[in-house]
Structure 1
Amino acid sequence: MGHSAGPNLPESVIAVYRTPELVLLALGGLLIAVLGALLPAGWAARTRSAVALRTE
């Protein structure tokens, strides 16, 4: 965005994270997503099908 607007931004402003940090952030986001999906999935697996479908 900065490049298309015209100002020349230094590399230290653009490249904030290095590759290992990006990998850790991506894995952390994936872990949060999986843990957040386990609670509703566990509830839906324990309830009857009609109740689970009705609450959706």
Structure 2
Amino acid sequence: MAASGGLRLPETLLDVYGPVLLTALALGGPVTALLGALLPAGWAARTRTATALRTE
């Protein structure tokens, strides 16, 4: 946006995250989602079908 308006921004404003941190953030989201899904899935797998369906 700034370049299309003819402005030149300093590199410190553009390089906020390094490649290592970007990779960690990109992998952290799916890992968090997977771990968050495993707890309820494990509980549902251990319970009887009728009990699991009644709690929904």
Tell whether the structures are fold-level matches, with TM greater than 0.5.
yes
Shift of 1:47: 0.7
Secondary structure, in 3 states, of the residue corresponding to 2:17?
coil
Greater helix share, structure number = 1
Greater radius of gyration (CA): 2
Letter in 2 for 1:50: A
Which contiguous aligned blocks of 4+ residues in structure 1 show a shift greater than 4 angstroms?
A: 6-9
Equivalenced residue count is 53
Shift of 1:52: 1.0
Q: Distance in 2 between matches of 1:54 and 1:8?
A: 60
- Percent identical across equivalent pairs? 62
1:1-56 Cα distance to aligned partner (Å, 9 max, x none): x74xx786533223311222111112122222111111100000011112112211
Q: Which residue number in structure 1 is paired with residue 50 of structure 2?
A: 50
Measured on the aligned residues, the alpha-carbon RMSD in Å equals 2.1
5+ residue gaps, structure 1, are none
5+ residue gaps, structure 2, are none
So what's the TM-score if we normalise by structure 2?
0.65
